[in-house]
Amino acid sequence: MANATIIEIEDMITVGTLAEQLMLPVGRVIGELMKNGVMATVNERIDFDTATIIVGELGLDVELKKKEAAAPVVATREKTSHSDTAVGRPPVIAVMGHVDHGKTSLLDRIRGANVVKGEAGGITQHISAYQIEHTYNGETRKITFLDTPGHEAFAAIREHGALLTDIVIIVVAADDGVKPQTIEAIRFARKAGVRIVVAMNKMDKEGANPDRVKQELSEQDLLIEDWGGDIVLMPVSAKTGEGVPALLDMLLLVSDVEELKADVAIPGRGLIIEAHVEQGRGPVAHALVESGTVKPGDFVVAGSSYAKIRNLETTDGKPTKAATPSTPVVITGFKTLPEFGDEFTVVKDEKAARAESAATATGKKNAGGRLDMNSSELIRMINRNNKVEEFNIIIKADVQGSLTSVMDSLKALDTDEVAVRVVGSGVGTITENDVHMAHTSDAVIYGFGVALPSGIKQHASRDKVSIRLYKVIYELIDDVREELTKRLAPEIVETDLGRLVVKGIFKTTKTEVICGGEVTKGKLVTPALAKVMRGNEKIADVEVTGLKRGPNDAKEIFESEMCGMSIKTANRVELQEGDHIELFTRQTVARSL
Ligand code: GDP
């Protein structure tokens, strides 16, 4: 890679911008990301490490460099507040570490044993944060855990998990030691400026080797207390539960040292960490209160949405009268679905709520938000994690029997990439309420054997809600299938055109080569993409920008003809006689289910 082109990119880059910088069709980059298990659309951001991996996989002669940020923005949570009304708040904890080192088991163990008991509501929704109670020094106190994703493939998510937290528990398996993702987790926690507590897990295992773990941590400049440093290391076993209470003690001790405080006597504010529509409840948002107090009946603004809080609940479904800092809550009453990562604030009345949310909707607001865009992006990524592309629908049918068969047929359409999400269903005509629900959840309404009253039709067209009526099941299913197909990432298809054997090189600059040779296979056309092959090895990806037959420009050159060829290169390519230039076209092709 001595001659590799160096491209400077930001820490996070959108897929579209990356493709542009690499001069590749965006579908190619999306395709490569998919191959690596990352579903990202053109406007979504990936982090530097991911971009580097992708560039490597694409076989480009390009080296990515991180642009030095002029002023790095690190969103750390407000640790202390100096106002008179500031009181202690529970710590917010995230768990990170190498895959299979026991993050999920540890969170399950902590949660199972200590979670704040609520009426078991049987809610199977993913809970994005929860609180436990733990008694330390005779005092029962709360600890908030962010349920960070188990999906470990890509660094950005972990990085962003850290930005929302006070303490990161880095889980290291005692029998496996420090691994690449452990190192990343350490790096991210440091960058975010949060306290690190190491949980040395799997202590019950025979192969546990604490000394090796300590040694390897020290190699990462993580000096534990035994070794004269200030990093706390707690030996635990998520399997037997051994050491877990001591770990929780330690979290409280560390948070005491950090003096985590927040004001409670001010209007509440915080972050939306998850939002979805629930049948019968409308938009439901999970939020983490950062400061102030939130109460039922309060008016809150989150991005372009607002609510008069109808129900304020703990994350396990228990009604609560007030939520104070570091508390994760469930809020209902939003008029429209707020977005992951929106900052929410309590405002004085409906008028203010309406005005502020409308201002955001028209893009005027967002001054004064304490968390920078990165954090919201991150939360969005956390929530997007592992998710398939969903098509939201509401189904209304004439009778229960047909509703059941429509729903069953729809289920069969789901794949790993795309899925139908039924946000509402029922028997009977389409109502105002259905239209409202479709509007807030960006859903299409399907009616099977039902009528559409004209008033509802008008309402739907005003709200730009699509209502599709069917009388034949398979036609309805076909329509849904078509919608899902549109959501599939396109396939990249390369078609070979022809091959030139280089017989002479006439000009070589950093970005251009002019050469001549003989067509030994197929047909050459211009413009086209090409690979330069030396023996079996590809030495460059290039673009063919011109062909000449004798002195004249040509559009096509056929097998066994001689021709001249102009090539555009991303960086200098030293062609040699005997090299093969293989021309091909690349197309993105829509896929079907
Ligand atoms: P994650 O990928 O970090 O979330 O790891 P998991 O929690 O899924 O754990 C990976 C594997 O290690 C599972 O098979 C767990 O049962 C096992 N495991 C987790 N913690 C312990 C532990 O303390 N002791 C033992 N023996 N096994 C554990």
Q: Show which of 323, 339, 366 is a domain's final residue.
A: 366
Q: Which residues of 95-125 are buried (b: 16+ CB within 10 A; e: fewer)?
A: bbbbeebbbbbbbebbbeebbeeeeeeeeee
CA of 103 from ligand 1 middle (Å) equals 7
Using alpha carbons only, give the angle 452, 453, 458 rounded to the nearest 5 degrees. 95
Start-to-end C-alpha separation, the chain: 40
Q: What is residue 83's predicted lDDT score, i.e. its pLDDT?
A: 60
Distance (Å) from CA 246 to ligand 1 centroid = 19
pLDDT of 136 > 80? The answer is yes
Which residue owns the Cα nearest ligand 1 atom 18?
A: 102
Q: Stretch 504-521: mean pLDDT, rounded? A: 93
173 Cα–ligand 1 center, Å: 8
- Residue of 100, 101, 104, 105 to test ligand 1 pocket, by largest number of atoms within 8 Å of CB: 105
Nearest CA to ligand 1 atom 22: 202
72, part of any domain: no
Could you tell me the pTM of the whole model? 0.52
Ligand 1, closest atom to CA 171?
3
Phi (first) and psi of residue 79, to 5 degrees:
-85, -45
pLDDT at 502 over 90: yes
Residue 148: its pLDDT value, please? 54
pLDDT in tens, 341-379: 678 899 999 999 988 888 777 654 443 333 333 343 444
- Other beta carbons less than 10 A from residue 486's beta carbon: 11
Give phi and psi for 387, each to the nearest 5.
-85, 145
pLDDT at 163 over 50: yes
The rounded Å distance from CA 91 to ligand 1 centre is 25
Look at residue 103 and tell me if it is in a domain: yes
Contact 266, 291 (CB under 8 A): yes
Q: Check whether 472 has a pLDDT greater than 90.
A: no
Residue 378 lies in a domain: no
Q: What is the pLDDT of residue 557?
A: 95
Q: What residue's CA is closest to ligand 1, atom 14?
A: 100
- How many whole angstroms from 188 Cα to the centroid of ligand 1? 22
Question: What's 463's domain CATH number?
Answer: 3.40.50.10050
pLDDT tens readout for residues 22-71: 878 777 888 787 777 676 777 777 888 888 888 888 887 788 888 764 43
Instruction: Judge contact between 109 and 247, C-beta under 8 A.
Output: no
For the chain, the helix, strand and coil percentages under 3-state DSSP, each to the nearest 5:
25, 35, 35
66-75, 141-150, 152-161, 249-258: least confident range: 152-161
- Kindly report, residue by residue over 325-345, the tens digit of the pLDDT: 999 999 999 988 887 667 889
Can you tell me which residue has the tokens 């733990």?
134
Q: What is the β-pairing status of strands 491-508 and 512-525?
A: antiparallel
Least confident among 71-85, 113-127, 536-550: 113-127
**Phi-psi region at 468: left, alpha or beta (left = phi > 0; alpha = psi -120 to 50):** beta
456 C-alpha vs ligand 1 centroid, how far in Å? 53
Residue 485: phi and psi, rounded to 5, are: -60, -40
Which residue has tokens 């969903």? Answer: 390
Domain check: are 224 and 113 in the same one? yes
Does residue 127 surpass a pLDDT of 90?
A: no
Whether residue 228 sits in one domain with residue 142? yes
Residue 382, CA distances (Å) to 101, 171, 377 in order: 20, 19, 9
Q: Where are the beta strands (DSSP E) in 398-483?
A: 418-427, 444-448, 467-470
Cβ 294 vs Cβ 309: under 8 Å: yes
Q: Specify the residue for token string 């509501």.
A: 121
Q: Does 527 reside within a domain?
A: yes
CA–centroid distance, residue 218 to ligand 1 (Å):
24
374 located within any domain: no
Specify if 212 maps to a domain: yes
Ligand 1 atom closest to residue 236's alpha carbon, by position in its atom list? 23
Cα–Cα distance measured from residue 301 to residue 354, given in angstroms and rounded to the nearest whole number = 8
Is residue 123 domain-shared with residue 252, that is, in the same domain? yes
What mean pLDDT comes out for the span 533-548?
Answer: 94
Q: Could you say which DSSP state residue 231 is in?
A: B
Q: Is the pLDDT of residue 245 over 90?
A: yes
pLDDT, position 90 = 93
User: Ligand 1 — pocket residues by CB below 6 A?
Assistant: 97, 99-105, 150, 201-202, 204-205, 237-239
Same domain assignment for residues 129 and 98: yes
Q: How far is CA 186 from CA 99, 219, 222, 264, 588, in A?
A: 14, 12, 8, 32, 40
Same domain for 179 and 118, yes or no, is: yes
Is residue 171 pLDDT above 90, yes or no? yes
In this structure, which residue's CA is closest to atom 24 in ligand 1? 202
For tokens 């090796």, what's the residue?
212
Asked whether the predicted pLDDT for residue 588 surpasses 90, the reply is no
Long-range contacts of 239-245 (CB under 8 A, 24+ apart): 239/105, 239/202, 239/204, 240/204, 241/109, 241/113, 242/203, 242/204, 243/203, 244/106, 244/109, 244/110, 244/113, 245/134
What CATH code is carried by the domain that includes residue 166? Answer: 3.40.50.300
The pLDDT, as a whole number, for residue 118 is 39
**How far is residue 399's CA from residue 426's CA, in Å, rounded to a whole number?**
9
Least confident of 149-158, 232-241, 289-298: 149-158
Q: Is 3 exposed, middle or buried (0-12, 13-18, 19+ CB in 10 A)?
A: middle
Instruction: Name the residue with higher pLDDT: 224 or 40.
Output: 224
Distance (angstroms) between ligand 1 centre and the Cα of 108 equals 11
If you measure from the C-alpha of residue 46 to the centroid of ligand 1, how many angstroms do you get, rounded to a whole number? 28
Residue 556 reports pLDDT greater than 70: yes
Residue 125: pLDDT over 60:
no
Which residue is closest in CA terms to ligand 1's atom 19?
102
Q: Is the dihedral of CA 377, 378, 380, 381 positive or negative?
A: positive
Rounded to the nearest whole angstrom, what is the distance from the C-alpha of residue 102 to the centroid of ligand 1?
A: 4
If asked whether residues 109 and 246 sit together in one domain, one would say yes
Residue 33 is predicted with a pLDDT of 79
Give the structural domain span for 449: 385-486
150 CA closest ligand 1 atom index: 4
The DSSP secondary structure of 68-82, one letter per residue, reads PPSS----PPP----
In degrees rounded to 5, what are phi and psi of residue 50? -65, -45
| Predicted pLDDT of residue 74 | 37
Is the pLDDT score of 293 beyond 90? yes
Q: Are residues 394 and 418 in the same domain?
A: yes
Residue after which a domain boundary falls, among 459, 486, 513: 486
Instruction: Give me the pLDDT at residue 404, please.
Output: 81
Half-sphere exposure of 121 (CA within 13 A, CB side): 13
* Residue to substitute in 95, 96, 100 for testing ligand 1 pocket (most ligand atoms within 8 angstroms of CB): 100
Q: pLDDT, tens digit, for every residue of 525-540?
A: 999 999 999 999 999 9
Q: Return the residue whose CA atom lies nearest to atom 2 of ligand 1.
A: 100
Which atom of ligand 1 lies at the shortest distance from residue 97's CA?
3
Kindly report which listed range (83-87, 213-217, 222-226) carries the lowest average pLDDT score: 83-87
pLDDT of residue 117: 41
Ligand 1 atom index nearest CA of 203: 23
Q: For 161-175, 298-312, 569-583, which range has the lowest pLDDT when averaged over its residues? A: 161-175
Q: Which of 215, 240, 259 is the last residue of a domain?
A: 259
pLDDT band at 198 (very low <50, low <70, confident <90, very high): very high
Q: What separation in Å is there between the alpha carbon of 34 and the centre of ligand 1? A: 27
Rounded distance between C-alpha atoms, residue 68 and residue 56, angstroms: 22
Residue nearest atom 9 in ligand 1 by C-alpha distance: 102
Look at residue 161 in the predicted model and tell me its pLDDT. Answer: 46
Same domain, 200 and 338: no
Mean of pLDDT values over 409-416: 80
**Atom in ligand 1 nearest the alpha carbon of residue 105:** 7
Least confident of 113-117, 193-197, 201-205, 470-474: 113-117
Distance CA 196, CA 244 (A): 16
Residue whose CA lies nearest to ligand 1 atom number 11: 100
- Cα separation, 54 vs 22, in Å, equals 11
C-alpha of residue 169 to centroid of ligand 1, in Å: 15
Per-residue confidence band for 324, with pLDDT thresholds at 50, 70 and 90: very high
Structural domain includes residue 531: yes
User: Looking at the structure, do residues 462 and 356 belong to the same domain, yes or no?
Assistant: no
- Residue 149: is its pLDDT beyond 70? no
Claim to verify: residue 13 and residue 133 sit in the same structural domain: no
Distance 201 CA to ligand 1 centre (A): 8
Q: Mean pLDDT: which of 366-375, 422-431, 550-559 is highest?
A: 550-559
215 and 292 share a domain?
A: no
Q: Give the highest mean pLDDT range of 162-166, 280-284, 490-494, 575-579.
A: 575-579
Sign of the torsion formed by the C-alpha atoms of 142, 144, 150 and 153: negative
Residue 436 clears pLDDT 60, i.e. is over it: yes
Whether 405 and 477 have beta carbons less than 8 Å apart is answered as: no
- On whether both 255 and 271 belong to a single domain, the answer is no
Q: How many domains does the chain have?
A: 5
Tokens of 396: 């209304």
Question: For the ranges 180-194, 438-452, 548-562, which has the lowest average pLDDT?
Answer: 180-194
The domain that holds 301 is classified in CATH as 2.40.30.10
Q: Is the residue at 73 inside a domain?
A: no
Of 585, 586, 576, give the one whose Cα is nearest residue 501.
576
